[in-house]
Structure 1
Amino acid sequence: MSALIYKQRFFHPNHPKTAVSNYVHIGYIATRPGAVKHPNKRHGLFGKLKPGPLQAFDSWQEVARIARQISREGKNMYRSVISFQTSTALELGLMDFSDWQQYIEQHIATVAAQNQIKIENLCWAAAFHNERDHPHLHIVFWDKSQTITKNFTHPEIPNRIRKQLIKDTFAYKIKQFCALRDEAKSGFTELTDRLVDEFEDYLKRLNPKAFRTFQHRFEHEDEDFLIRFPKHHLIETSSAKHLANRLFELRHFLPPTGRLAYQLLPQETKIHLDELVQELLNDNRYLAQLVEDYVQAKLELARLYTSDPDRMEKQRGNYQAEAEKRIANRILSTLRTMIKMEMESASAIRQADRQHALAEQLLLELLNMMENLAMRIRLDVDDKLNVMGGELSKQAKKEWLLRHKDRGMER
């Protein structure tokens, strides 16, 4: 068992990319694979934007838009992470989404107080990522009453938060530890920082290898890296091996020279490539989910200009085909690499480990590509909504009126 990890940082609001970065950060923590999602929702974001009961937001975008706006206003949006080892989380009773929601609701006041934010001015949102070895909670928070932009947070602030969280979370365990050392007899009544340090040293000695691995995951890697965590765990070894074989098969339908682009392929080759794309979507549910996110984002953009259901249904098919074509072209890029390697070494490309590496790299790049494309479109939708005042275009309004005028709804 090891103690908890707490990390905290922010990007300066004056930086030109901060507002967009904060928007994207919220989208990633709320939707990406590993995030535990609300029933019947496509995200897992929850929190409080005002005092009151815990809120499961209708969409992550409503929080992301606010974060983007407060960044433009010069307010700091903090990003933080709380994590335990799986065994520790289980001992603490943090077994499901509801448990983690209750945990952060009980302890968010500590985060606010140490950052000198009054609880009535605190806005926060969180997402639980149930990763196998280190379940963790991503939290974003800000002070809605802030008037002066902060340039720096002293490292002692997140350290104090971490120690207070340990005191509050492990109070019973620390007292047990003290009893083992006969300190209970000395009239021990206070959980001091010294006791926290000694308690953590004790935990390290119990399982030094596990503790080092856990510490390294969160303390020796940049927080942004954590947000863009590697997706290797989303790819089954058998899937990468199957894809490697299929790529090698498809290679035989391609010319050894010349440009490789989907629209230039012979029809027979297109059929084989399309079949491979469908296999990938059926085999990797995360890729299929990201393609659906892309389609939904494109549909949201289209709804700003038309509300005709027939047209929207047609557009859905078009956007799905567009996403699949992007995947197909990315496959062709990998095949181009294979062909180049064949020309350089007749035997290298036939090595199983090389084929597997290329296949795994392709899968990872496809996941990142679709994730980034969907997020860029979401940003485009919000920008256009802002310009249009959050309303439909004149054409969309006209179409809506024409469809409903026979129902006595025309005004």
Structure 2
Amino acid sequence: MSALIYKQRFFHPNHPKTAVSNYTHIGYIATRPGAVRHENNSHGLFGKLRPGPLQAFESWQEVARIARQISREGKNMFRSVISFQTETALELGLTNFTDWQQYMEQHIATIAAQNQIKIENVCWAAAFHNEKNHPHLHVVFWDRSQTIMKNFTHPEIPNRIRKQLIKDTFTYKIKQFCALRDEAKSDISQVTDRIVDEFEAYLKRLNPKAFRAFQHRFEHEDEDSLLRFPKHHLIQPSSVKQLANRLFELRLHLPPTGRLAYQLLPIETKSYLDELVQELLRDNPYLAQLVEDYVQAKLELATLYTSDPERLGKQRDNYQKEAEKRIANRILSTLRTIIKLEKESTVAIRQADREQALAEQLLLELLTVMESLSIRTRMDVDDKISAMGGELSKQAKKEWLLRHIDQGMER
């Protein structure tokens, strides 16, 4: 097995999508399933934005806002991953959230030094993902004093970081390895890169199958794809089968002709579709949480324009219905695909297999779409607060409420 995986990259600050991408990246690592969260909080982001004690940030958005701003200023925000196999993490005493926090705090200096960032100028935030077989840390970091934009990082830099992390993390085990080989009867004075390479080769021989699986996980995927894919572990096979059956039943309730749109459905069919949406929210807690996050973000935006409890209550209901309407429209899109395949497909695939595949694809799409919508709405809230300075005129509030009071209900 490999001792340790380290990957590092950045998106060029000049790219028009970099600032938004960095914002959403932080939202993903802080809130995705698998991320260990702070007690009584909705995220697990920790780190340091200034010298001093380790911070458990009140919200992931405070870090995301800074990351977006430094990108706009032409500063580089680096994204990195540190990962061990589960057995290795346990041997190192990394058994809980606090252990991983301390590990990151101890080793951020190595990452900073190899990237030529002074330790007093490095800003960083991390999230621990306790995923099966490969617990790992997602780390973002930048140089608060950076004045010259970087457009390239030599591949040797993350390689040097990886080797130094191995030296610092596995010193005792490396010395044991050398003693077993009789290479050093006494204590070795320096753990060299050559010894690190030999140590990893030794671990690889111990369990070549585990080594290949661990390496493959990170060599063929970057840290962004680890966040987006796979989401299959968030979906139960029983839920996929049940959804496939429900899609088939809903297919039978659809009108034989006419445009397939939510607002044009017969009342009975619309009720059946609404029930299916509620079932999906009950069966998939992550999807339900994403809807709630979206509704809360929209509600925070509404509170900038009105403090009337009755209006806010109505707005909350509207936002919930809007989110559910989006899910319903995604379901209808899948049904259009089913109908099209029924008419055009010449491939000999069992109807049940086809419907299960489409049901699984639908669930994955819903998670991806609502995940993106939730974070981007949160970013919109930040923009509005910044642009408004916290206050609008009464007339502006009235105009906004008139435009948004029923928004999204017939789309």
TM-score by length of structure 1 reads 0.93
Segment of structure 1 superposing worse, 296-305 or 271-280: 296-305
Residue 393 of structure 1: aligned partner: 392
Unaligned runs of 5+ residues in structure 2 are 399-411
Segment of structure 1 superposing worse, 85-94 or 245-254: 85-94
Shift of 1:116: 1.1
After TM superposition, list the pairs within 5 Å mapping 1:76-95 onto structure 2.
Answer: 76-95=76-95
1:171 is matched by which residue type in structure 2? T
After TM superposition, list the pairs within 5 Å mapping 1:22-33 onto structure 2.
Answer: 22-33=22-33
1:322 is matched by which residue type in structure 2? E
Residue 298 of structure 2: aligned partner: 298
After TM superposition, list the pairs within 5 Å mapping 1:59-78 onto structure 2.
Answer: 59-78=59-78
Unaligned runs of 5+ residues in structure 1 are 400-411
Residue 224 of structure 1: aligned partner: 224
- Aligned 8 A contact 2:305 2:397 in 1: no
1:105 is matched by which residue type in structure 2? E
Segment of structure 1 superposing worse, 166-175 or 88-97: 88-97
Shift of 1:19: 1.1
Shift of 1:349: 7.1
Partner of 1:315: helix, strand, or coil?
helix
Residue 133 of structure 1: aligned partner: 133
Partner of 1:116: helix, strand, or coil?
coil
Shift of 1:2: 2.6
Distance in 2, matches of 1:149 and 1:100, equals: 31
Partner of 1:320: helix, strand, or coil?
helix
Residue 121 of structure 1: aligned partner: 121
Distance in 2, matches of 1:200 and 1:142, equals: 30
After TM superposition, list the pairs within 5 Å mapping 1:9-408 onto structure 2.
Answer: 9-185=9-185, 188-344=188-344, 351-389=351-389, 391-395=390-394
Change (3 A) 1:341 1:129: same
Partner of 1:184: helix, strand, or coil?
coil
Shift of 1:188: 2.2
- Aligned 8 A contact 1:341 1:349 in 2: no
Change (3 A) 1:348 1:290: farther
Residue 3 of structure 2: aligned partner: 3
Distance in 2, matches of 1:238 and 1:398, equals: 47
Per-residue CA shift, 1:11-57, capped at 9, x if unaligned? 11111111111111111111122211112211111110011111111
Shift of 1:382: 1.8
Change (3 A) 1:208 1:256: farther
Aligned alpha-carbon RMSD (Å): 1.9
2:257 is matched by which residue type in structure 1? T
Per-residue CA shift, 1:116-153, capped at 9, x if unaligned? 11111111001111111211111011110111111211
Distance in 2, matches of 1:125 and 1:345, equals: 50
Identity rate of aligned residues, in percent? 82
Distance in 2, matches of 1:22 and 1:352, equals: 41
Per-residue CA shift, 1:190-215, capped at 9, x if unaligned? 11111110011011111111111111
Per-residue CA shift, 1:219-248, capped at 9, x if unaligned? 222333223222111111111111111111
Distance in 2, matches of 1:229 and 1:350, equals: 27
Distance in 2, matches of 1:396 and 1:132, equals: 54
Segment of structure 1 superposing worse, 73-82 or 225-234: 225-234
